[in-house]
Structure 1
Amino acid sequence: MRPTRILPHVIAGGLWAALATGAHAALEICNDTNTLQTVAIGYKGDRDWVSEGWWNIEAGDCAVVLAGGLTRRYYYYYAESSNEDFEGQDYRFCASDEIFTIEGDTGCEERGYETLSMREIDTGERARDFTLTLVNSGGNPTGTDKIAPKIEDESAPPTAEVNEGVNDSSSGPGGPGGGAPVTETVQDTTIVPEEIPMTVSAEDLVTDIPAGNHGRAFETTALFQGCELDGGREMCSFHAGDWKMRVFYRGPTPEALMYALEELAVNMPVYLKADMVETHGNTAAIVVRAVEPRPGDDVDSRLRATLQGDWVDTSDQRWEMTVSGSEIHFRQNGDYSGSRFMRIARQCDGATGEGPFLVQINAENNRRTCYSIDRAEPGRLELTDVRRGRTTSYRKMR
């Protein structure tokens, strides 16, 4: 943890708040936590990516970190305090212990700097002035803006209708506890078209539950994600579009169907009939009425299979990612740093060409990041961030 201190270009306390109040076009960061926050930022400059720091912002105060009208939509920030850990995203910038302004976001260690994992700030399409407020949330400073409206669920899973205000418990039908023991990973993730093993009969995946008996009925195509333990809860799940739909053991879904799901392969295309019970961010709790496996229906099956497994960034081997089904899990220095949902698309916002594109979805705020898949081979992967234009090369670990 970096020691907090008043740095040469940082004005702290009420005077800074007064100066910030007078600014009409700027990027401002306010501290609504109960402790001092030490902040750094990153952004695209005229020639290259730029990072700057540090600002010490006392609890209840604000700081203007970029003066003048905003010229970009996306900025990035890092905030730390003496008693909280900061959970960054996969946006890396260079930094120093001393006051700094650094051009370039690559080769940080080689240039005598450290690498910070920052979080993204989306100021909106036409914002000239923006305030980010740091709040305590599960031990992590979290940015919430005072200007743009909170991002709500954009849509339900395809063809589903969702009741707003339906049971908002996080446990879902069946909730935690009991049920059949489920291992961390039950299914094989090596998938090729029309060669997916089928060891379960169709009758095992059909119930007599009436449509709409446990929530709003819907039907959709999906990819099976597998069965897992998550926070003490035993579940199986599906991905459809930007959504992860979870069905719990010891719930209304019959145990016989849950056991049958364990026999399906990860990434199996299915036609899903279910009832929507609740939604939270980009996840939904469902009761499954029927699952129809459709091996061979996924036109991207071979590409999806190539993406599966553990990868390491060839330019910075501290960063690794694991692709499992329709999810990506990131690690820095072996420690978990975040997860994203993913889907393969032929079109992506802000991208040109016909793809394929890898769309990463942040389940917390429904934000999407598009990557063009420039190269996908059994041992080599190259992804280019469409918006930032940065290409990252990965090597298969195993």
Structure 2
Amino acid sequence: MKRILLAAGLGLAASPALAGLEICNNAGHSLSLAIGYSSGGGWVSEGWWTIPAGGCKTAVSGDLKTRYYYYRADAGGAVLASGDYTFCTSPEPFTIHGDTQCGSRGYETQGFRRLDTGETARHFTLTLNAAADATAAPAPAAPQAGAPGAYGEPYSDNVTLQGCSSEGQRACSFHAGGTKFLVRDDGRTPRLVFSVMEALDPGTPLTVQGDLEAVYDRTADVVLRDAAVRPWTEHDGLLNRLQGHWYSVEDPNAQFTVLGAERDNSYDGADTGRDYLSVSERCFEFEGGGPYLYAREEETGEDYCYVIDHAGRQELTLMHLPRGTVLRYRKLD
């Protein structure tokens, strides 16, 4: 189960005089709350309720009809409370039926924490508490495992999923800014994070939060606390159109295959190297007139910039900068 990032504990209280599920905020800052529950043999998730500091919201009205509810709370873009139970969410207010195939339906998959209201409760109040202020001490306490900064520099970013492997040690990877990040299943990243990434296709856009443990020339090791599908952008869509096997119109022996954010190059059947890719509105000093495809060679770190002139289902036209060489490709699959 994910550890709380901004909250140290939960206060629980039952009140038989009322009915419903009430969430109170004693965390000292405004919270965004989402809940999940069983209804009619299926699952429903709802959100977001904004609960100001010191305030309460009734998330479920009337007598409680089930024992277990699930909740997620965020504060200022950081996760306050989450867990190993997944539901579909959306950045905008939502009521979503079903807890599977979130990404294919245009939603995010996020972790929720289970709340046990008891077998007979008609009303339940959950209070989210802030962490107690530390008293004066000779030296600051080391970060607790799972808290921001516990394993390195706190890190959050919009990234592109590359994929997961269960050969040897379970691991997943993603790309951002020409760097490949590796997440290993060594007990520090919650299993939920791996379950979310393993269920997604290479090239899926994600938002991740965690700690940078080590940064190398073109790769980095990271421990994650959370990973969720983010809304697709125009640039994500362009990268998605590049997926597949392409050959050069001018020289069919020159080919490449794009999977996720990686391009494997070959000539006459022989591998010639791998690039890390990203799509954006600028590439080094080039800005305007894009979008641009940025490529970083895995072995040497050499950088390349291209204008994406056309990206169709079967045809691709790039202009290599700064020379302005036009490169035309057709798709093999």
The alpha-carbon distance between structure 1 residues 260 and 274, as it changes in their structure 2 partners (threshold 3 A), is same
Residue 202 (structure 1) aligns with: 110
Change (3 A) 1:204 1:310: farther
Larger relative contact order (C-alpha < 8 A, sep ≥ 6)? 2
> Unpaired segments of 5 or more residues in structure 1?
1-193
- Alignment match of 1:324 (pick from 259, 262, 285): 259
Match of 1:291 in 2: 227
Higher strand share: 2
Of residues 278, 299, 317, the one that matches 1:382 is 317
Counterpart pick for 1:212 among 128, 149, 174:
149
Deviations 1:274-313 (A, max 9, x none): 11111221210111111122133x2323322211110011
**Rounded Cα–Cα distance in structure 2 between residues aligned with 1:236 and 1:335:** 27
**Shift in Å at residue 218 of structure 1?**
1.5
Matched residues in 1 for 2:159 and 2:257: separation?
21
The reply to whether residue 223 of structure 1 matches residue 131 of structure 2 is no
Aligned position for 1:391: 326
Q: Could you say which residue in structure 1 is the equivalent of 2:237?
A: 302
In structure 1, what is the equivalent of residue 276 of structure 2?
341
> Which amino acid in the other structure matches residue 289 of structure 1?
R
**Displacement of 1:247:** 0.3
Secondary structure of 1:259 counterpart: helix
For the aligned residues, what is the CA RMSD? 2.7
Structure 2 residue matching 1:302: 3-state secondary structure: helix
**Structure 2 unaligned spans of 5+:** 1-101, 114-144
Equivalent pair of 2:239/2:278 in contact (CA under 8 Å):
no
On the 8 A contact 2:278/2:295 being kept in 1, the answer is yes
8 Å CA contact retained: 2:111, 2:192: no
**1:281–1:363: 8 Å Cα contact kept in structure 2?**
no
CA distance in 2, matches of 1:233, 1:395: 37
Scaled by the length of structure 1, what TM-score is found?
A: 0.46
Q: Which of the residues 277, 281, 296 maps onto 2:213?
A: 277
Q: 1:397 to 1:255 in 2, by over 3 A?
A: same
Q: Please state whether the residue corresponding to 1:260 is helix, strand or coil.
A: helix
Identity percentage over the alignment?
28
In the other structure, the counterpart of 2:307 is 372
* CA positional deviation for 1:318: 1.3
Q: Could you tell me which amino acid in structure 2 is paired with residue 368 of structure 1?
A: D
The structure-2 alpha-carbon separation of the partners of 1:229 and 1:253, relative to structure 1 and needing over 3 Å to count, comes to: same
**Pairing of 1:101-180 with structure 2 (within 5 A):** none
1:330-351 Cα deviation digits (max 9, x unpaired): 0122222100111112122354
Among candidates 185, 195, 199, match of residue 259 of structure 1: 195
CA contact under 8 A between 1:274 and 1:290: conserved in structure 2? yes
Change (3 A) 1:321 1:229: farther
Question: Which residue in the other structure is 1:124 paired with?
Answer: none
**Contact map agreement 1:306 1:378 (CA 8 A) in 2:** yes
Residue type of the alignment partner of 1:303? L
Match 2:248 to one of 313, 318, 338? 313
Q: Is the 8 A contact 2:196 2:228 kept in 1?
A: no
Distance 2:186 2:243 in 1: 30
Aligned to 1:268: 204
Give me the whole-angstrom Cα distance separating, in 2, the residues matched to 1:292 and 1:307: 23
Task: State the Cα deviation string for residues 202-226 of structure 1 (Å, max 9, x = none).
Answer: 1179xx8211222221211212222
Deviations 1:180-218 (A, max 9, x none): xxxxxxxxxxxxxx973579841179xx82112222212
Q: Partner residue of 1:168?
A: none
